[in-house]
Amino acid sequence: MDWQGGPVSNNVEDRRGGDEGGGGGMISSFGGGGGLGIGAIIILTLIGWATGINPQLLIGGAQVLTGAGNSSYSQPQQTTRSSNGAPTDQMGRFIASVLGETEGVWTKILPEQANIQYTKPTLVLFSGQTRSGCGTAQSAMGPFYCPSDQKVYLDMAFFNEMKAKYGGGGDFAYAYVVAHEVGHHVENLLGILPKIQQMQDQASSKAQSNALSVKVELLADCFAGVWAANANQQYKILQQGDVETAIATAQAIGDDKLQTAARGYAVPDSFTHGSAAQRTQWLTVGLQSGQIQACLPLLK
């Protein structure tokens, strides 16, 4: 991925190495069996209380790549930042560039394709844990989007987990993660998240509620593909093998793959992000079409 030729975002807030506690102290994460740890469950409750939106619809990373539960995040090396808090290390600059390219794309195509002005989110880089508008964010949750403050939260040590567990390393795979979370922000701007919450409130079963969560996550995958297609047109970001890397990552993080790896079998009614085939399908739809409308059949 050629990430150095496009715009660089000023909306990255670098909190790595800072003293960013969670108010009442560290929230522990205990995991196992592919389920969310207790810390993540507490965070989900806080998000729901703060926003009125079902938390499972908002946290794209809670089970995307970690399978939730026990995590082995390594602390990043000491970083430097500019006087305005922007990152100056290579990975930090990479994130700022990817975010800048999402801003450039969505600022252009959201008004063109959906007649809605794009409001830029902030991306918060942190290490270990930090405060968010949705409660305490911690590494074990994975990347997530908080609609209350319109910020994406990311501990980049999460990328180590991608490489170690799922072979999902590489610049475009990391960009896919960022684009997926920004996709949730686009969903929020389009009014999709509150509508899905209403539908979940009326759901007759947990399985039906989970199916709605899957739609939101697959839509974020599709929007990530829409971004990539348009970013390539605008900034020529794609290099040989990038699309294959993204598709391989989408396949590796399907609920069926994660559940089978964790417990030896998959339970489709418990899926919250979609199967490997579904995630690959909808990322591909976005990549091939570059159109928001191509993704919306997911909501039917």
Q: pLDDT tens digits for 86-102?
A: 687 888 899 999 999 99
Type of residue at 221? D
**Tens digit of pLDDT for each residue in 213-234?**
999 999 999 999 999 999 999 9
Q: Are 172 and 1 in contact (CB under 8 A)?
A: yes
Helix extents (H) in 237-275:
242-252, 255-263
In a domain? residue 1: no
Enumerate residue ranges in the chain where pLDDT < 50: 19-54, 56, 58-79, 83
CA 120 to chain centroid, in Å, comes to 15
pLDDT of residue 18: 64
In a domain? residue 112: yes
In a domain? residue 265: yes
End-to-end CA distance of the chain: 34
Type of residue at 99? L
In a domain? residue 68: yes
In a domain? residue 5: no
Using CA atoms, how far apart are residues 24 and 299, in angstroms rounded to an integer?
39
Q: Kindly report the backbone phi and psi dihedral angles of residue 175, in degrees, each rounded to the nearest multiple of 5, phi listed first.
A: -65, -35
Q: Are 214 and 272 in contact (CB under 8 A)?
A: yes
Reported as type and span, the H/E element at residue 33 is none
The CA dihedral of 224, 229, 230, 231, to the nearest 10 degrees, is: 80
Which residue segment(s) compose the domain that 235 sits in? 12-299
pLDDT of residue 65: 41
| pTM assigned to the model | 0.80
Q: Which residues fall within 8 angstroms of residue 204, CB to CB, at 6 or more apart?
A: none
**Tens digit of pLDDT for each residue in 42-80?**
444 444 444 444 454 544 444 444 444 333 333 444 445
Reported as type and span, the H/E element at residue 144 is strand 144-146
The β-bridge relationship of strands 129-132 and 135-138 is antiparallel
Q: Which residues pair with 68 in a beta bridge?
A: none
pLDDT of residue 100: 96
Q: What share of the chain is helix, strand, coil (3-state, %, to 5)?
A: 55, 10, 40
Q: How many domains does the chain have?
A: 1
pLDDT of residue 38: 40
In a domain? residue 4: no
In a domain? residue 7: no
pLDDT of residue 158: 84
